[in-house]
Amino acid sequence: MNASQRLQIFSLLSREITEPKTELKYRSHFQLLIAVILSAQATDISVNRATRPLFRDAPNPETIRDLGVEGLTPYIRAIGLFNTKAKNIISTCNILIEKYQSRVPRTRAALEGLPGVGRKTANVILNTAFGEPAIAVDTHIFRISNRTGLARGKTVLAVEKQLLKTTPENFLIDAHHLLILHGRYTCKARAPLCQNCVIKKLCEFPGKTELSG
């Protein structure tokens, strides 16, 4: 796939997805961080269901820290790995309070130093909260990148590096959410909706449905 085709793909996706943003609900950088930590191996719907009452009752690092692991657990019990996530969130709140004046740091190194925050979570925060050209390669982006030919790689890091290198500069900020939303609703894993896909003519997926129009 060449640079012109990549530009066409992102141009078409941006026309189709007019609001490329996360579907997680939050009102602060801190709440976004907590929601993203919770979203590992969980759906945005389940996270939003949990964080609605959590953020109502405990909207900041101090109030969540005061809940403690035992107080936080009932809010997130329906989310996978809730025991580990509860411990990580309380530890993260303590670090934010003691080291960062309750603010979310905006460097990769600082973010990845927080419990429960890996490269993917750090990329989400850098991109969504701070507008950095970072791409968090989740299962959707990994699948789409390899399936379409946008960025082929055997690991998420390889795909991330390739996307950062080849994505047109004016789409680097929005690429993350354009690809995730396209994967979530159109380029699905088991039954991609090729007939509804705006980039089907540019896609290199050998199994795509060839439909006219």
Task: Tell me the two tokens of residue 130.
Answer: 């701070």
CA distances from 186 to 33, 69, 181, 206 (A): 27, 38, 8, 16
Radius of gyration of the chain (CA): 18
Report how far residue 147's alpha carbon sits from residue 32's, in angstroms, rounded to the nearest whole number.
Answer: 29
- To the query of whether residue 174 is one of the catalytic residues in this protein, the response is no
CB-based contacts of 85, cutoff 8 Å, min separation 6: 37, 38, 40, 76, 79, 116
In angstroms, the CA 148 to CA 13 distance is 13
Contact status, residue 180 vs residue 174, Cβ threshold 8 Å: no
| From 57, 87, 99, 120, active-site residue | 120
Six-digit token string for 48: 């939003």
Q: Which of 3, 5, 24 is CA-nearest to residue 180? A: 24
DSSP 194: G
How many residues are present in the chain?
213
- List 25, 85, 87, 138, catalytic entry: 138
Enzyme catalytic residues = 120, 138
